[in-house]
Amino acid sequence: MRSETDKMLFGVCGGLAQRLEVDAIWLRLGFVGLALLLGKGVLLYVILAIVMPKAPAYADAPGGYAGI
Rounded distance between C-alpha atoms, residue 26 and residue 61, angstroms: 21
Every domain of the chain and the residues it spans: 12-53
Alpha carbon distance, N-terminus to C-terminus of the chain: 10
- Tell me phi and psi for residue 54, to 5 degrees: -80, 135
Q: For 36-52, what is each residue's pLDDT tens digit?
A: 888 877 888 888 888 88
Q: For 8-42, what is each residue's pLDDT tens digit?
A: 788 888 888 888 888 889 988 888 888 888 887 78
Please state the pTM of the whole predicted model: 0.67
Q: Is 55 helix (H, G, I), strand (E, B) or coil?
A: coil
- What is Dmax (Cα atoms) for the chain? 38
